[in-house]
Amino acid sequence: MTPGDVLLTIMPQADGSQKARPVLFLCRVPPFADFLVCGITTQIGNAIPNLDEIVSASDGDFEATGLKATSLIRAAYLALLPASRFKGRIESVTEARHKRLLSALATFLHNAA
């Protein structure tokens, strides 16, 4: 698996339940090579401006993501997971989209301090 991949895993929900959902693999975290991921949802109305990214069915790279509908990549919905937690790889986002998300997250965290 490579950073930028859209993976499938079980993620906790706001109501405490667990649900299989796509996540975006952001990067590996040493020393155990765990995966830092962020959640993906179809709840577009939850978008945080200048942080999250909408992947629209009309985007040129939408098909390459493997997502089934217009989706929101929630950059601050983070989890650190071992490789064993993933059910599989769906597809991936473009390198440009991956870099934009990392940059937006870094800027958000820097400004929040």
Domain count, the chain: 1
Indicate the DSSP class of residue 48.
P
CATH of the domain at 58: 2.30.30.110
- CA dist 86 and 81 (Å) reads 8
Which residue range is the domain that position 102 belongs to?
5-112
List the alpha helices (DSSP H) in the chain. 62-65, 95-112
DSSP assignment, residue 107?
A: H
Strand partners, 34: 29
Digit-coded pLDDT (tens) for 58-84: 999 999 999 999 999 999 999 999 999
pLDDT digits (tens, 9 = 90+) for 23-60: 999 999 999 889 999 999 999 999 999 999 999 999 99
Q: What's this model's pTM, rounded to 2 decimal places? A: 0.92
Residue 46 burial (CB < 10 Å; 0-12/13-18/19+)? exposed
Helix (H, G, I), strand (E, B) or coil at 87: strand
